[in-house]
Amino acid sequence: MNQQELANPELAGVTVVEDSGDISRSDVLLKGALAAGAVYGTFMVGPFVRQAFAAGSGSTDVDILNFALTLEYLESTFYKEAMTRAKASGELKSLIKLLAEDEKQHVDALTATIKSLGGKPVAEPKFNFEYSDTAGFLKLAQTFEDTGVSAYNGAGPMIKSKEVLGAAGSIVQIEARHAAAIRLQNKEEPAPEAFDPSLEEAQVLKAVKPFIA
Per-residue pLDDT of the chain (213 residues; tens, 9 = 90+): 433 333 333 433 444 444 444 444 444 434 444 433 333 333 333 333 344 444 444 578 898 888 788 888 888 988 999 999 999 999 999 999 999 999 999 999 999 999 999 999 988 877 888 889 999 999 888 888 877 777 777 777 778 888 888 888 888 889 889 989 999 999 998 877 776 444 433 443 344 345 345
3-state secondary structure of 24: coil
Give the torsion through C-alpha atoms of 66, 71, 77, 80, to 10 deg.
-120
Q: How far is 129 from 11, CA to CA, in rounded Å?
A: 9
Over its C-alpha atoms, the chain yields an Rg (Å, rounded) of 16
pLDDT at 68: 80
Beta carbons of 155 and 72 less than 8 angstroms apart: no
- Cα distances (Å, whole numbers) of residue 25 to 28, 30, 32, 69, 148: 5, 9, 11, 18, 20
Please give the domain boundaries of the chain with CATH numbers for all domains: 3-211 (1.20.1260.10)
The burial class, CB within 10 Å (0-12 / 13-18 / 19+), for 128 is: exposed
Q: The whole model's pTM is what?
A: 0.70
Comparing CA positions, the residue from 203, 167, 175, 183 lying closest to residue 9 is: 203
- Cα distances (Å, whole numbers) of residue 96 to 128, 151, 179, 206: 18, 21, 12, 31
The set of long-range contacts for 90-97, using a CB threshold of 8 Å and a minimum separation of 24, is 92/134, 92/185, 95/181, 95/182, 95/185
Q: How far is 64 from 13, CA to CA, in rounded Å?
A: 26
Which residues does 60 contact at the CB level (< 8 Å), separation at least 6? 119, 160
Q: How far is 213 from 203, CA to CA, in rounded Å?
A: 18
Residues in the chain: 213
